[in-house]
Amino acid sequence: MTAKQGIYIQLYNIHGLIRGNNLELGRDADTGGQTKYVLELAKSISQNDEVDSVEIVTRYINDKEVSPDYSQKEEIINNKLKIVRISCGGGKYIRKELLWNHLEEFVDKSIKYIKSKGRLPDIIHSHYADAGFVCTELTKFFGLPFIHTGHSLGKNKLNNLLKQGLKHEDIEKRYKILRRIEAEESVIFNSDKIITSTNQEVTDQYGLYENFTPDKFVVIPPSIDIEKFYPFNERREWEEESQKIRDRIRDQLWKFFINMHKPIILALCRPEKRKNIAGLIEAYGENKELQSKANLAIFAGIRKDITQMPDIEREVLTEMLLLMDKYNLYGKMAIPKRHDFEYEVPELYRTTAETRGVFVNSAFNEPFGLTLIEAASTGLPIVATDDGGPRDIISNLLNGELVDVHDPRNISEAILKILNDENLWLSYSANGINRIKQFYSWEAHTKKYIEIVKNLISEEKEYPNILLSPGMKFFKCKRLIIVDIDETLFGAKDSADQFKNLLSDIHDTTGFGVATGRTIDSAKQILQEHDFIMPDVIISSVGSEIYYKKENEYIYGTGWDVHISRQWKRDEIVELLRECDFLEYQGENTQRKHKVSYNIRTDDMDIDSIRNLLIQNKIKANLIVSHNAYLDILPSRASKGRAVRYISYRWNIPYESILIAGDSGNDEDMLTGEMLGIVVSNHTDELEKLKGKRKIYFSDKSYAAGIMDGINHYQFLRNI
């Protein structure tokens, strides 16, 4: 944030089913209260005078099964707020549990987007564990202040699912829960602040994690649009239109209910196991008094054909229908197929309140419960689970009953307590209406949120980690020089010293990297032995690993790791080549996760025979021979050249602004292509075939002198 610019905030909400209006809440497990909270938070903070720009960063989806709204690359919501959609994992909609393997791609493209803007956000704020993973990676590279909101937590979900009788392996298969918990541990460690809805969420849920530290947490309850969720007994200027919607709701319910003159028991939630819809139906079905006194309406998401829905939703909805049949609740229970959040849901609360009904949240655990404060704002009393956010809500609003939902009888008794006492109903209704503004207005929420943001920005200026981050160097640099180490950079001390001085002079505008067959430790060691500048990036192990400099350490590039891991079969390769007489397996200190290295024992090795052997065994790999003495086998996507191109893409540095220098066969694919190549005069015969190729300059000078000769040849540093 500069003196002329206000605060720039990015909110990461990865799953993609979010748009500027008419949210599809309840469409599936990804479209619950989190989506609504993120959009309303973004809208609210964008109205703050100190905020200059707000972006919701989410996944780009181009899928005929979902709305075309999600395929807009950018969606403008107001003059300071937009939704930015970033591609990963193709165009099809993928539920969040299956997105984990694509998140490194999301990180890469987020970095590319940030650099294309030419301005770093002042704050990044992740929502849910997947976005937490993305923002953890971004803050590692850019040193950005990082806020996180979990919305729900993996360890708590795992414990609840185990209590329901599910097996560990089934939970892992369906929810990828261990990956999620690992990401949450990392988020807790790396984030600057974690915003929760309740104190119970801090102590009882985050307290289960190894990296838990209480001073990192701040409680700010979510809020609602009080003008939209106005009381049932008040009238607005648009009352005629509201009445039409209420009439439409009643017409819909008439299709289910025999007697419409009863109070309504309303539930509004996604079809998930943890929402315990079955417990509510059982509570109603087992209690004849409750059936005679009230109707039950459950709005469980949006559906067309249950048989075509994902397993999780299909199981829950099928169970609902079976329970409805078991208790013969026809004429008393409604399960509408859809509802419109933007217009129908507020009227649904008011319609229920007009019948003197009750809103029920029967979830086993509820991190907060936005629907509870929506219902309260309209004057609808609530019955809610005594686990999570409802404790704070009812403590603040004094508008309902908390129950242990594991016993359905507790639910039915609490509902009857309210329905059977007119004075109690009126007291709970009035309390909700009168106390909602004090505790759950967006104005109060935003004020506290902006205070946190400003404090974090102020702390960052005092302790500017961002200036030492690897991403900051690549964010600023316009050019990149990457050279091989052995026999290219080093070989003549005088020219190496001259090149070192040149790099020092251009350090502010030009990135410097090395690409080597050495391991990361070996590369650092030889650079230190020559008292050379430590590079901004080290591509090591023949392009199978990338490391970025952060202060005096190097961060492993996990994005490159994921990118090259596909179809890599290291153990199978080692076994296949175990009996090759002309290959000698090198010592374990040279072997790497994505590199198998051999010494070549003979001058007439047939490289094609090895390549064909791997192909016959359906193994894709990249074979690199260097100095006619070494063979490195890498994943098919890995090499020095591909690593450089990956860096070019990730950090948005054009090929024509990247200069490469090398001397041997393992530099070949790095030298060819659109980048500016330099071959030093002391090169091996393996590179002779490149003479005459476009954008490859063969210097008549050796070692680092050849690099500087090439820089002059291309006029690479002009206009600096």
> For the residues 653-667, what does the mean pLDDT come to?
92
What is the SS3 assignment for 465?
Answer: helix
User: Which 3-state string (H, E, C) describes 551-607?
Assistant: CCEEEECHHHHHHHHCCCCHHHHHHHCCCCCCEEECCCCCCECCEEEEEECCCCCCH
> Which residue would you say has higher pLDDT here, 511 or 444?
511
> Is 330 exposed, middle or buried (CB count within 10 Å of its CB: 0-12, 13-18, 19+)?
exposed
> Which residue would you say has higher pLDDT here, 47 or 589?
47
Of 206, 163, 152, 320, the residue nearest 171 (C-alpha):
163
Among 39-43, 385-389, 481-485, the minimum mean pLDDT is found in: 385-389
The answer to whether residue 466 scores a pLDDT higher than 60 is no
| pLDDT at 460 (0 to 100) | 62
> Which residue would you say has higher pLDDT here, 476 or 417?
417
Of 407, 431, 435, the residue nearest 418 (C-alpha):
431
Query: What's the CATH code of the domain at 332?
Result: 3.40.50.2000
> For the residues 320-346, what does the mean pLDDT come to?
87
The answer to whether residue 556 scores a pLDDT higher than 60 is yes
**One domain for residues 644 and 687:** yes
**One domain for residues 149 and 271:** no
The answer to whether residue 150 scores a pLDDT higher than 80 is yes
Query: What's the CATH code of the domain at 671?
Result: 3.40.50.1000
Of 14, 133, 122, the residue nearest 452 (C-alpha):
122
> For the residues 513-533, what does the mean pLDDT come to?
95
Per-residue model confidence as pLDDT tens digits over 56-93: 999 999 999 999 999 999 999 999 999 999 999 999 99
Distances (CA, A) of 618 to 30, 323, 566, 567: 38, 51, 13, 10
* 454, part of any domain: no
Alpha-carbon distance of 641 to 662, in angstroms, equals 11
Residue 358 host element (H or E): strand 358-361
| pLDDT at 462 (0 to 100) | 55
Let me know: does 265 contact 358? Beta carbons within 8 Å: yes
- In the chain, the amino acid numbered 75 is E
Alpha-carbon distance of 305 to 314, in angstroms, equals 9
| pLDDT at 415 (0 to 100) | 98
The answer to whether residue 3 scores a pLDDT higher than 60 is no
- Structural domain count of the chain: 4
**One domain for residues 627 and 647:** no
| pLDDT at 341 (0 to 100) | 60
**One domain for residues 561 and 591:** no
**Neighbouring C-beta atoms of residue 233, cutoff 10 Å:** 13
**How far is C-alpha 597 from the chain's CA centre?**
36
DSSP annotation string for 270-324: -S-GGG-HHHHHHHHHT-HHHHHH-EEEEE----S-GGGS-HHHHHHHHHHHHHH
**One domain for residues 556 and 685:** yes
**One domain for residues 480 and 547:** yes
- 277-285 and 408-419 are packed helices; what angle lies between their axes, rounded to 10 degrees? 60
Alpha-carbon distance of 153 to 388, in angstroms, equals 12
- In the chain, the amino acid numbered 499 is F
Alpha-carbon distance of 640 to 635, in angstroms, equals 12
* 227, part of any domain: no
Order the strands of the 123-127 sheet from edge to edge: 74-78, 81-86, 51-59, 7-12, 123-127, 146-149, 193-196, 217-219
Instruction: Work out the angle at residue 213's Cα, subtended by the Cα atoms of residues 209 and 219, and round it to the nearest 5 degrees.
Output: 95
87: DSSP letter: -
* 232, part of any domain: no
* 450, part of any domain: no
Q: Which residues contact 326 (CB under 8 A, 6 or more apart)?
A: 285
pLDDT band at 127 (very low <50, low <70, confident <90, very high): very high
Rank 72-86, 157-171, 191-205, 627-641 by mean pLDDT and report only the highest.
72-86
Per-residue model confidence as pLDDT tens digits over 212-259: 999 999 999 888 888 889 999 988 766 777 888 888 888 888 889 999
The whole-chain average pLDDT of the chain stands at 91
| pLDDT at 340 (0 to 100) | 64
**One domain for residues 553 and 629:** no
**One domain for residues 193 and 45:** yes
* 49, part of any domain: yes
Instruction: Give strand pairing partners of 137.
Output: none
pLDDT band at 339 (very low <50, low <70, confident <90, very high): low
| pLDDT at 27 (0 to 100) | 77
**One domain for residues 41 and 134:** yes
Alpha-carbon distance of 245 to 241, in angstroms, equals 7
* 488, part of any domain: yes
DSSP annotation string for 185-251: HHHHHH-SEEEES-HHIIIIIGGGSTT--GGGEEE----B-TTTS--TT---TTHHHHHHHHHHHHH
The answer to whether residue 200 scores a pLDDT higher than 90 is no
pLDDT band at 591 (very low <50, low <70, confident <90, very high): very high
Phi, psi for 455 (deg, rounded to 5): -65, -40
| pLDDT at 144 (0 to 100) | 87
Let me know: does 548 contact 569? Beta carbons within 8 Å: no
The answer to whether residue 463 scores a pLDDT higher than 60 is no
**One domain for residues 204 and 252:** no
**How far is C-alpha 311 from the chain's CA centre?**
23
* 385, part of any domain: yes
**One domain for residues 588 and 679:** no
* 461, part of any domain: no
**One domain for residues 593 and 531:** no
Pairing of strands 553-556, 545-550: antiparallel
Among 636, 653, 683, give the residue marking a domain's end. 636
Among 219, 250, 281, give the residue marking a domain's end. 219
| pLDDT at 608 (0 to 100) | 85
| pLDDT at 2 (0 to 100) | 47
Distances (CA, A) of 604 to 211, 246, 608: 56, 85, 12
Let me know: does 573 contact 614? Beta carbons within 8 Å: yes
For 602, the domain range is 580-636
Instruction: Work out the angle at residue 196's Cα, subtended by the Cα atoms of residues 558 and 345, and round it to the nearest 5 degrees.
Output: 105
Distances (CA, A) of 155 to 180, 184, 565: 9, 9, 28
Q: 387-425: buried (b, 16+ CB within 10 Å) or exposed (e) per residue?
A: bbbbbbbbebbebbbbbebeebebbbbbbbebbeeeeeb
Query: What's the CATH code of the domain at 607?
Result: 3.90.1070.10
Alpha-carbon distance of 77 to 44, in angstroms, equals 12
Let me know: does 150 contact 100? Beta carbons within 8 Å: no
pLDDT band at 369 (very low <50, low <70, confident <90, very high): confident
Among 398, 416, 439, give the residue marking a domain's end. 439
Alpha-carbon distance of 104 to 68, in angstroms, equals 25
**Neighbouring C-beta atoms of residue 137, cutoff 10 Å:** 24
> For the residues 665-683, what does the mean pLDDT come to?
90
